[in-house]
Amino acid sequence: MLMNLGGAMEQRLSAQWARVRARMRSEFGETAFQSWLKPLTFKGFHNGVVHLLVPTRFMQNWIESQYGDRLLELWRSENPSVTAIDVVHSATSSASHSAGHSGGHSATHGASGFSAHGRDGAAAPSANTDALNSFDAGLCAPLDPRFRFDNFIVGKPNELAFAAARRVAEADNVPFNPLFLFGGVGLGKTHLMHAIAAQLRESAPEKRVLYLSAEKFMYQFIRALRYKDTMAFKEQFRSVDVLMIDDVQFIAGKDNTQEEFFHTFNALVDQNRQVVISADKSPAELEGIEDRMKSRLGWGLVAEIHSTTYELRLGILQSKAEQMSADIPPKVLEFLAHKITSNVRELEGALNRLVAYANLVGRSITLETAQEVLHDLLRANDRRVTIEEIQKRVAEHFNVKLSEMHSARRSRGIARPRQVAMYLSKQLTARSLPEIGRKFGGRDHTTVMHAVRKVDELKQSDSSFAEDVELLRRMLEG
Amino acid sequence: MIGRQFPLALEFLPALGRADFLIAPCNQAAAALVDAWPDWPGPHALVYGPHACGKTHLVTAWREKSGASLLDPARLTVDGLGDALDVAPGTVGPPAWALDGLEEIADEPLLFHLLNSVRERQGSLLMTARAAPSRLNFTLPDLTSRLAAATAVVIEPPDDDLLAGLLIKLFMDRHLTVDPDVVAYILPRIERSFAAIHQAVTALDRAGLAAKRRVTVALVRQVLFQ
């Protein structure tokens, strides 16, 4: 019985609240309602006090000062036992971060949004480094667990490099030393380097595998020089079983570092320890590297990773989409493979961005979403459209003279296109309404507002008109 | 209505908490990105959008949540990078850094090393910029491809509701109490950009102070629209 009573009470209160809201809406108008009153939520009624919740502090101030008195009056007319209104903002009501953003304004998916492809590796690298002694842990770059052989997509452009990398990771007797991998940025050199190191650590944990960037090698060496500790430095590097240096072009022109690297390199190769080097160019083409160094770098196997083909790009996208368990239409993958040709990193980056966006705002992935989210990658430039261009395009589209955009004629065949152009000027430029009005033959800002309202209404009622406007908008956005 | 409020000259603290950030369709993805941390798809994230669109606000809100330290683009150097990224002992959770204003970095290798170092340290870096990564005029290929691979979200130009909300918020930040008719007067007449709203509020605050007057429609007409 009590439950029922409570339920009935609650129902009555929420009906009262609905009526209060409706009256506020008609009294203060749609804009004020949408901006200020709609976000109010009813939290409860205790001891004569109505508790309302708003998302932010300043909204709380604003509502109290602007609408507080009227809110109380309206509540009292519904329910005479109301004596006060209490407006609180959700930041105070949730008090701490752990309580989460309980306010209705948080249009997010929260933490679960990314779980499908989250950084599951956060803990893995430290587990790997535990296996190493303390010196390696500080020196060796952490391995990215996403870079493995089994998720490296092989195609014509990278099959030699892939096969060579596998060989280094699997075989005891590698017939070539060093392995020199080279290719443009973002084509998978680092992926292969990490994959080699990860597999060696798994299959041959007794081996000391040291993977680091050329820049870090340089940094360590400079530090050793500074602390007069070069002996220890040499010792560290020359006692490893496999040395892997990424992006060796970064030591170009750094003579001291290069010299030291050269000695380390020779010492290791002479002792039959495996060396793997990556660079953005072939040994012969590396600039700022001494000739004797270039020739030694090219002694082993030099494997180039070529630019991607459409087939390889599509394969990469398909595999990546599967990994992320993201629902992406094949048409979208084909579109990306076709449009983003620079390199794999940017290709995967584009896919990541698209999926992240869809997750964040809760939209499905379509060709339109892709075009919208990746507009900067797909378009050569982001020029701002001008009111003049809008007038010209709209006049052409509706087959009226450009001069009619500024004329005083009000026949519908002329006025409608003019209204569409005003509408698009508001949508696509930041110009103020008075300025838009001026560009349309010195009209008032209220005329522009009327045009915007009219076009909005027509778009609702006439779908072919809505398509026309949408088409124009797309053409203008380029 | 209770007595008038007069703002203190120059001294005001904008409300930059996450709850003070006004959500609208144009910035929804950016706010959601901040909320989603630490579950980001990768270590590097970038929010880009026009001047005064709320990037610094989001960075502030995110730093509150993540404990990220703010990197000063003017003081970063390649040699000092290791020190700049040092995390205070006793810090819990994944390391995080924020860099507000990518375009202030002229040293491209520095930025490249920064991105690599953040990845190596398994941390997160939130960056902001005025334009999309592909529009930032960086030329080092290793850098541009890494930036292009960052999780980048845009803040689009504001829609009408956000402009209204922002106008009120900025008045509130300066402890200026204005009547709804002032807002209703400004909105249809002003350039519809973040920057224009900021400029308008600054100008009105200053004019109101100088004349020791409340911000009214008459003052708005005089200061903003002659």
pLDDT digits (tens, 9 = 90+) for A357-383: 898 888 899 998 898 888 888 876 666
ipTM of the complex: 0.74
Q: Which residues 110-139 of B have a C-beta within 8 angstroms of A?
A: 113, 116, 119-120, 122, 131-135
Query: What number of residues does chain A have?
Result: 478
Report how far apart, in Å, the C-alpha atoms of B68 and of each of B95, B146, B153, B203 are: 7, 21, 19, 34
Give the residue with greater pLDDT, A113 vs B1: B1
Distance of alpha carbon A224 from alpha carbon A231, whole angstroms? 8
**pLDDT greater at residue A76 or residue A97:** A76
Shared domain check, A283 and A172: yes
Which among A280, A289, A305 has a CA at the least distance from the CA of A254? A289
Query: B172 at the A interface (CB within 8 A)?
Result: yes
The verdict on B138 and B216 lying in the same domain is no
pLDDT exceeds cutoff 80 at A231: yes
- The verdict on whether omega for the bond into residue A145 sits within 30 degrees of 0, i.e. cis, is no
Query: Which residue segment(s) compose the domain that A211 sits in?
Result: 149-305
Q: Do B36 and A113 touch (CB under 8 A)?
A: yes
- pLDDT for B110 beyond 50: yes
Specify whether A367 is located in the same domain as A449.
no
pLDDT over 50 at A468, yes or no: yes
CA B210 to chain A, closest CA, distance in angstroms equals 25
State whether B41 and B104 are in the same domain.
Answer: yes
> A317 pLDDT exceeds 80?
yes
Share the mean pLDDT of chain B: 87
Q: How far is B75 from chain A (nearest CA, A)?
A: 19
Task: Mark whether B141 and B165 lie in a shared domain.
Answer: no
Question: Looking at residue B91, what is its pLDDT?
Answer: 72
Residue A224 forms part of a structural domain: yes
- Hey, what are A121's tokens? 């590796």
- The H-assigned helical ranges of B91-193 are 108-120, 141-148, 160-173, 180-186
For residue B20, being part of any structural domain is answered with no
* Segment A41-63, tens digit of pLDDT: 888 888 888 888 887 666 777 77
Q: Does the residue A140 lie in any domain?
A: no
**Confidence at residue B84, expressed as pLDDT on a 0 to 100 scale:** 85
Residue A415's pLDDT band, with cuts at 50, 70 and 90, is: very high
Contact A117 B141 (CB under 8 A): no
Which strands make up the sheet holding A274-279, listed edge to edge? Answer: A209-213, A242-246, A274-279, A179-183, A301-305
B196 touches chain A (CB under 8 A): yes
Q: Between the CA of residue A241 and those of A168, A275, B120, B182, what are the distances in Å?
A: 12, 9, 22, 75
Beta strand segments in A389-432, E: none
User: How many angstroms away from the CA of A175 is the closest CA of chain B?
Assistant: 31
The pLDDT score that the predictor gives to residue B137 is 85
Suggest the residue from B22, B134, B187 to mutate for an interface test with chain A (most A CBs closer than 10 A).
Answer: B134
Q: What is the pLDDT of residue A308?
A: 92
Among A246, A320, A352, the strongest candidate for a mutation testing the B interface, having the largest count of B CBs within 10 A, is A352
Question: Does B118 map to a domain?
Answer: yes
- The closest CB to that of A213, out of B41, B116, B131, belongs to B116
A185 touches chain B (CB under 8 A): yes
pLDDT the model gives residue B12 = 61
Tokens of B224: 């903003």
Which CATH number do you get for residue B57? 3.40.50.300
A445 touches chain B (CB under 8 A): yes
pLDDT tens digits, A273-308? 999 999 999 999 998 888 988 999 998 999 999 999
Which residues are bridge partners to B152 per DSSP? B46
Least confident residue range of A85-99, A168-182, B158-172: A85-99
Q: Which of A354, A378, A402 is the last residue of a domain?
A: A378
Residues A256 and A274 both lie in one domain: yes
Contact call for residues A231 and A260 (beta carbons, < 8 A): no
Interface with chain B: mutation pick from A376, A377, A381, highest number of B CBs within 10 Å: A376
pLDDT digits (tens, 9 = 90+) for B147-159: 988 999 999 889 8
Q: Do B150 and A215 make contact, defined as CB atoms within 8 angstroms?
A: no
Chain B residues touching residue A122 (CB < 8 angstroms): 94, 122
Distance from C-alpha of B21 to C-alpha of B57, rounded to nearest angstrom = 7
Q: Nearest by CB to A97, which of B31, B65, B133?
A: B65
Q: What is the pLDDT of residue A102?
A: 35
B4 pLDDT higher than 60: no
Higher per-residue confidence, A200 vs A112? A200
Domain boundary among B101, B125, B154: B154
> Which pLDDT score, from 0 to 100, does residue A191 have?
93
Last-in-domain residue among B122, B154, B186 = B154
**Residue B12 included in any domain:** no
Option in B28, B39, B122 nearest A114 (CB) = B39
From chain A, the residues in CB contact with B193 under 8 A are: 430
Report the C-alpha gap between B49 and B53 in whole angstroms.
6
The pLDDT score that the predictor gives to residue A383 is 66
pLDDT for A120 equals 36
- CA atoms of B177 and B200, how far apart (whole Å): 15
CB contact residues (below 8 A), chain B span 94-113, against chain A: 94, 109, 113
Query: Phi, psi at residue A308, to the nearest 5°?
Result: -75, 155
Evaluate if residue A122 carries a pLDDT over 50.
no
Structure-model confidence comparison of residues A122 and A168, the more confident one: A168
Residues A296 and A159 in one domain: yes
Residues A305, A309, A314: CA angle, nearest 5 degrees:
115
Q: Which two tokens stand for residue B113?
A: 């090393």
What's the distance, Cα to Cα, between the start and end of chain A in Å?
65
Quick one: A299 and A324 in the same domain? no
CATH number for A391: 1.10.1750.10
- Give first-to-last CA distance, chain B, whole Å: 29
Residue A198 has pLDDT above 90, yes or no: yes
* Burial class for A226, CB neighbours closer than 10 Å (0-12, 13-18, 19+): exposed
Answer yes or no: do B40 and B127 share one domain: yes
Q: Write down the mean pLDDT value for chain A.
A: 83
- Residue A382 C-alpha, separation from nearest chain B C-alpha, in angstroms: 9
Distance from CA of A150 to the nearest CA of B (A): 20
Domain tally, chain A: 4
Could you say which of A94, A109, A140 is where a domain stops?
A: A94
Specify the CATH number for the domain of residue B180: 1.10.8
- Closest Cβ–Cβ partner in B23, B145, B153 for A186: B145
The yes-or-no verdict on residue A187 having pLDDT over 80 is yes
pLDDT of residue A183: 94
pLDDT at B25 exceeding the cut of 90 = no
What's the mean pLDDT in B71-96?
82
Interface check for A433 against chain B (CB to CB < 8 A): the answer is yes
Q: How high is the pLDDT of residue A136? A: 54
pLDDT interval class at B145 (50, 70, 90): confident
Among A91, A144, A349, whose Cβ lies nearest the Cβ of B148?
A349
Q: Which residue of B has its CA nearest to A363?
A: B29
CB contact under 8 A, A280 and B142: yes
Q: How far is CA A457 from CA A59, A450, B25, in A?
A: 30, 11, 21
Provide CB contacts within 8 A for A76, sequence distance 6+: A82
Q: Which tokens is A350 given?
A: 């584009």
Q: Which of B113, B135, B154 is the endpoint of a domain?
A: B154
Of the listed ranges A9-23, A141-155, A218-232, A326-340, the least confidently predicted one is: A218-232
In this structure, the strands spanning B151-154 and B44-48 are parallel
Same domain, B106 and B200: no
Pick the residue with more confidence: A441 or B91?
A441
Q: What is the mean pLDDT of residues A404-411?
A: 91
Cβ density class A159-171: b for 16+ within 10 Å, e for less: ebbbebbbbbbee
Compute the average pLDDT of residues A315-320.
93
The per-residue pLDDT for range A322-350, each reduced to its tens digit, is 988 888 999 999 999 999 988 898 899 89
Using the Cβ of A376 and the Cβ atoms of chain B, whether some distance falls under 8 Å is answered with: yes
Residues B176, B71 share a domain: no
* Interface check B192 vs A, CB under 8 A: yes
Q: Give me the total of CB pairs closer than 8 Å, taking one residue from chain A and one from chain B.
A: 176
Same domain? For A451 and A404 the reply is: yes
For chain B, give the longest Cα–Cα distance. Answer: 61
Please report the sign of the dihedral spanned by the C-alpha atoms of residue A403, residue A408, residue A414, residue A419.
Answer: positive
Query: Of B39, B149, B172, which is closest to A111 when you measure between CB atoms?
Result: B39
B189 versus A118: the higher-pLDDT residue is B189
**Weakest-pLDDT range from A280-284, A424-428, B141-145:** B141-145
- Residue A205 and residue A252 in one domain: yes
Query: In the structure, what pLDDT confidence band is assigned to residue A138 with cuts at 50, 70 and 90?
Result: low
* Predicted confidence band of residue A234 (pLDDT cuts 50, 70, 90): confident
Inter-chain contact B169–A32, Cβ cutoff 8 Å? no
Bridge partners, B124 (sequence order): B96
Determine if the peptide bond prior to B157 is cis (ω within 30°).
no
Q: Are residues A397 and A462 both part of a single domain?
A: yes
> Which residues in A lie closer than 8 A to residue B180 (C-beta atoms)?
28, 32, 66
Provide the residue range defining the domain that includes B171: 160-224
Q: Report the residue of chain B nearest A362, measured CA to CA.
A: B29
The CA distances from residue A28 to A23, A434, B34, B178, B188, in Å, are 8, 24, 34, 16, 17
